[in-house]
Structure 1
């Protein structure tokens, strides 16, 4: 297949940041996707519906004229989130979910939940109102190996959570292991998962062999090739429990190429082409539309898009960098390399 036309896709997990960063991130994302779940881990975090509406307004200011991009907002779950705020989400037009970061799990997550059992009284309301709980699925204990943190989260946190709240609508974000894929497969239709382009296309060898490559560093970290193979299997299976979430996360070049570099891959400029590459590599390009354009909207109870995009199988070179903030650059995922698909 040399050409494929898709319903315009959505991104169900992205980081746009705030302030000057929006000048870069919003147009990049809007030229690929119709809607996006915008992560709330700003400084300070987006903790209330009022704050989310204000953040959405700041994003809208940077949507290119004539583009219908629709930011879907999420609240940041803290130890102090009130059950009353969950009712406000239910009644909000633009806030679609709440995001739980274990404290210290990733960028700007210090305000995250310290112990999930402390917020069970709030999760009870999420289950009642069928508001999606989005989870960064890693434990953060210092003694747990970084490559094992997702598996330990499944065993220690998620299994007890779903036993207590079996009807909870939940998305396990950016899954990276075969264990997480199997866990989601074993649950009911109330449990879904997003998968990033980097975890479909790459594994930890790409990040570490021949020297450390900081622009492949993200959290959860890239895993073994066997885990990558399982993610490709479920993403291309046509199972509606798995859908697109880039986890595109901008950091300036000097913040990535650093003695203590930041976690995050910037894929927003070419995300759908990356996914096309991954699906095509395993001979399943015809399954891309469901994963990218249908299943996420269905899970969130939103209408599928009606606009379409076309991809052609034609080589393109990912740019080496893009302008970002003042006098800084951002290095995109797979910078300077050739991929075989292009959006027209």
Structure 2
């Protein structure tokens, strides 16, 4: 990082950043938005929740080719591909993904939790899912998690905290070498959970992405004065104390927290 000063201005120069959580969609939407990310970011972890989802290495290679074809001429941008975890995901497919050098992680969507998540996981502890997780642990293929329960009895503002207690903590303890990223963390509970593994200076096997909008806004921005639809997002905005916890994590220098814009057309 370099700083140049004059009498009236100060310029701060940083290395070109990466986006560790990006949706590019496909078709016309992909063509419309990929240039915006390519202008600002060097690399991005590309989410696999297309219709149909990216579930095989062949799917990921084909999607990567479409992304590269849609880039503006001269763009220097590397899409880092992911697979969508389902009950049909096999250890063989995961090994092929790792060997490809193109697939960098696997995304876990609880079924029904967010956009295009209908094909996601309904039970983390089925034989098929635990076999997939054990394989990922063995070959060092990270798991990216949309960390919310879909239980209708759980208040929408509590879905991340409940997911951590019910599902994420047992998963991380059972698969003790699996690298895990809690995507778009929104709560102090999530921040505290991540801090329980590794260290700020060296990082650890558990991390979290943080979005700009969850740093800027709390649920008052969504609800006060009537519903503000332009502030609606998933996961939903939380209390101010949670926003402050995210800001503290993002500005702490802790290597376990990093930018994932969750940009999504």
TM-score when scaled to structure 2?
A: 0.93
Q: Post-superposition shift, 1:209?
A: 1.2
1:199 paired residue number: 214
Q: Secondary structure at the match of 2:264?
A: coil
**Quick one: which of 109, 117, 135 aligns to 1:125?**
135
Corresponding residue to 2:223 among 205, 208, 211: 208
SS of residue in 2 equivalent to 1:117: coil
Aligned residue for 1:218, secondary structure, equals coil
Match of 1:157 in 2: 167
> Which structure has more RCO (C-alpha within 8 Å, separation ≥ 6)?
1
Residue 152 (structure 2) pairs with residue 137 (structure 1): no
Matches within 5 A, 1:1-344: 2-118=10-126, 119-188=129-198, 189-250=204-265
* TM-superposed deviation, 1:211: 2.2
Alignment partners' CA distance in 2, 1:15 and 1:146: 23
Give distance in 1, aligned partners of 2:54 and 2:209. Answer: 21
1:21-71 CA-to-partner distances (Å, cap 9, x unmatched) read 012110111111010111000100000000010001111111111111111
Secondary structure of 1:91's counterpart equals helix
Distance in 1, matches of 2:188 and 2:74, equals 41
d(CA) in 2 for partners of 1:102 and 1:72? Answer: 22
**Offset at 1:3?**
2.2
1:63-112 deviations in whole A, cap 9, x for unaligned? 11111111110000011111111101210121100000000000000000
Deviations 1:265-320 (A, max 9, x none): xxxxxxxxxxxxxxxxxxxxxxxxxxxxxxxxxxxxxxxxxxxxxxxxxxxxxxxx
Find the aligned partners of 2:224 and 2:65 in 1 and give their Cα distance: 43
Partner of 1:287: none
Q: Distance in 1 between matches of 2:240 and 2:11?
A: 29
5+ residue gaps, structure 1, are 251-344
Q: Which runs of 5+ in 2 are unaligned?
A: 4-9, 199-203
Q: Using the alignment, how far apart are the partners of 1:247 and 1:193 within structure 2?
A: 12
Counterpart secondary structure, 1:120: helix
TM normalised by structure 1 equals: 0.72
Moved over 3 A (4+): none
